[in-house]
A and B are shown apart, each in its own frame.
Chain A
């Protein structure tokens, strides 16, 4: 258990595309953003964020939300939501030193899709705006809480245990 990453994620799509996604995701055609690259994107534990993204960002006419259960060994995950950065830090440094004429996403995708590097997913916290943290003081100690959703970019179908349309 301790060496695995588990998550439930939600993916919003136009209802026309649901049958083809459920029959097999084509990761090659899913162009992504500059940081996470191409892949199949999920909002972790957030049906609402998936729905809102489909509605306001993509303006899909008829929205379907897909439920996806994933499980993966941590050694195959780039997890930017934890403070135990190791390989994540090293890859950022490698990009900066040698590959800064590509985006980080392009760099990672090249390694995944052309050099068979086992990165199955990238995980990052997506805040809707800059200041979404607030400080709670309790005597001498203090804690910064934040609100935001976690975005997961799946690079292949290996971590997918289950995928289905939310009824």
Chain B
């Protein structure tokens, strides 16, 4: 399955989404809780910069402004 098909299926097929979430949650991370917290913070910063960059390039500005507001609030 290619990446876009997977993303579509994950967000449109409720059973598939649940199966993926359950299966992956059954796996254990090799990293500690503190390492995961730090990793997720870095990912958030990276994601924020991605979205900001797309706004500055005027790609989908309205929807991404909303996404950034959500990120800042969370």
Contacts and interface: CB of A to CB of B under 8 A. Distances in A.
Contact of A92 (B35, B43, B59): B43
Contact of A75 (B2, B23, B44): B2
A87 B39 contact: no
Interface in A53-83: 75-76, 78, 83
- Classify chain B's interface size: 20 to 34
Given A94-B10, A99-B24, A103-B39, A87 B4 contact: yes
Given A87-B7, A117-B3, A96 B40 contact: yes
A110 interface: yes
Interface of B is mostly: helix
A80 to B, nearest CB: 8
Interface string B30-49: 11000110011001101100
Contacts of B20: 115
Nearest to B29: A102
A117 B6 contact: yes
Contacts of A99: 21, 24-25
Contacts of A75: 2-4
Given A83-B57, A103-B39, A117-B3, A93 B47 contact: yes
Given A83-B53, A85-B54, A104 B4 contact: no
Contacts of A94: 7, 10
A95 B43 contact: yes
